[in-house]
Structure 1
Amino acid sequence: METLGNFLEHLRGSMSLREAAKRCGLSHVYIRDLEKNKSNAKNGDYIKPSPDTLMKLSSAYNYPYEHLMIKAGYIKEESSQLFNKPFVQMDLNDVSHIEVDDDYVTFNTADKQYKNKIETLSAFSEFLDALEDSGFIKTDRHLYANLNKIVDQDEDNGILYFNVERTVYVTIALIRQKKYRNLIARSIANNTNQTLQVSMSPLKRSLIHVFSWD
């Protein structure tokens, strides 16, 4: 059975140890110890690279971080579905809302979640531009909602719903609720095939009557 060390050595390929060390910021001696499955002198166990070390090796070898985490035993293989769709392959039309934190972007669809690691600021910036082009609005500090998926709202409590059962939702800050009120109302009407109800003051109705041709 192939060990993690054997696999890391295979990933390095023809790259020298010193070049690998330069790319990932680790000691070339330590990298070789990992490849040779050297044991820890203190307890006799094999040296196990930390998640941070695996991230550095992932970057140096241009290999998916989550796959190294699986190889090292930090996550189970079936859990990797949370990481299996990068930004460029995710169809944003299927996504109801997106959560963003310091390290990950979480895509929420009707029945699943997909997590992506934020690798670079430039890639993340391009991603945010794509969100705007795809009809997403920022609703709260770390939340983005797909206007094409909103079917209802609770203005009093600042909530947008993505299904009639009201089990899938995001919060929306008051200032953004005011900013996007008309846009959200039009989106809900369009998504639910309803006629948009427009309320007018008596003054506006009288002006319409005055300037009508009838």
Structure 2
Amino acid sequence: MMKGFGSFLEQLRGSRSLREAAKLSGLSHAYIRDLELEKNRSTNERIIPSPDTLKKLSAAYNYPYKDLMTMAGHLYQEQDTEQQVDFTEVLYAKIMTDHVQFHLGSPGQQFNMHCDLPRFHELLKEFEAHSFKRLDTELFVNIGRIRAVDWKAGTVHFEPNISLRVSPLRLNKHQSLILRSIAEHNGTTLEYNVDKKNGLKSAIQSIFTPSD
């Protein structure tokens, strides 16, 4: 299920009260709130809405059922292995057992590419050519699309409401590259200072105004 899917459902509900949404969908207002919080408040267990529940919410909120199914993880957009991928639009890719899952620049927008071993090796070369870095065991992230980083928590932020938890160790390994990319996007430069206490080099962003 897409991270933040519960918050997305709450946004779809909009100004409607929980009881109004319950009347429209035929679901209980308590269950709708559980879905928005992504957990059963009685047991504290994570919940994923069923296809039947999503169909009711789709009708109630007038939102495409297929899109909700995709965001909830019940359905995946498929892409032919021969079709070209626009890597500049990909935020990150997950390597699965028999396919690669590409996540794009909108919440829940993704597609799968089934590929054999030769095609997989070709993808690895394309990842490298397009500045993707391996930030977890089977996770490749487009460094150029990162807009902010929580180094301590190991979280990278892309577009608004799109973030991803990664391995802090591998994240720090590419710290300089990531900071340069963020600086370039924000129109800033980097200055490097030495931490006298730890003897470690730290990168500090400073505002840079290009000369006319």
TM-score class, shorter: 0.5 to 0.7
Q: Which letter does structure 2 place at the counterpart of 1:146?
A: N
Aligned partners of 2:111, 2:77: CA distance in 1, in Å? 4
Matches within 5 A, 1:120-131: 120-131=116-127
Matches within 5 A, 1:150-189: 150-163=146-159, 165=160, 167-189=161-183
Q: What CA RMSD, in Å, does the superposition of the two structures yield over aligned residues? A: 2.8
Aligned partners of 1:169, 1:87: CA distance in 2, in Å? 29
Match of residue 104, structure 1, among 99, 105, 127: 99
Per the TM alignment, residue 192 of structure 1 is displaced from its structure 2 partner at its CA by 2.1
Residues 96 and 85 (structure 1 numbering): CA distance in 2 closer, same or farther, change over 3 Å? farther
Per the TM alignment, residue 202 of structure 1 is displaced from its structure 2 partner at its CA by 5.9
TM-score (normalizing by structure 1): 0.52
Q: Which letter does structure 1 place at the counterpart of 2:92?
A: H
The DSSP-based 3-state class of the residue aligned with 2:120 is helix
Percent of residue pairs bearing the same amino acid type: 25
Per the TM alignment, residue 157 of structure 1 is displaced from its structure 2 partner at its CA by 0.5
Residues 199 and 176 (structure 1 numbering): CA distance in 2 closer, same or farther, change over 3 Å? same
Residues matched between the structures, number: 125
Aligned partners of 1:87, 1:196: CA distance in 2, in Å? 40
- Between structure 1 and structure 2, the one with the greater Rg is 1
Aligned partners of 2:126, 2:83: CA distance in 1, in Å? 10
TM-score (normalizing by structure 2): 0.52
Per the TM alignment, residue 121 of structure 1 is displaced from its structure 2 partner at its CA by 0.8
Structure having the higher strand fraction is: 2
Residues 172 and 151 (structure 1 numbering): CA distance in 2 closer, same or farther, change over 3 Å? same
Structure having the higher helix fraction is: 1
Unaligned segments of structure 1, at least 5 residues: 1-75, 205-214
Aligned partners of 2:123, 2:131: CA distance in 1, in Å? 13
Q: Is residue 193 from structure 1 mapped to residue 190 from structure 2 by the alignment?
A: no
Aligned partners of 1:197, 1:108: CA distance in 2, in Å? 32
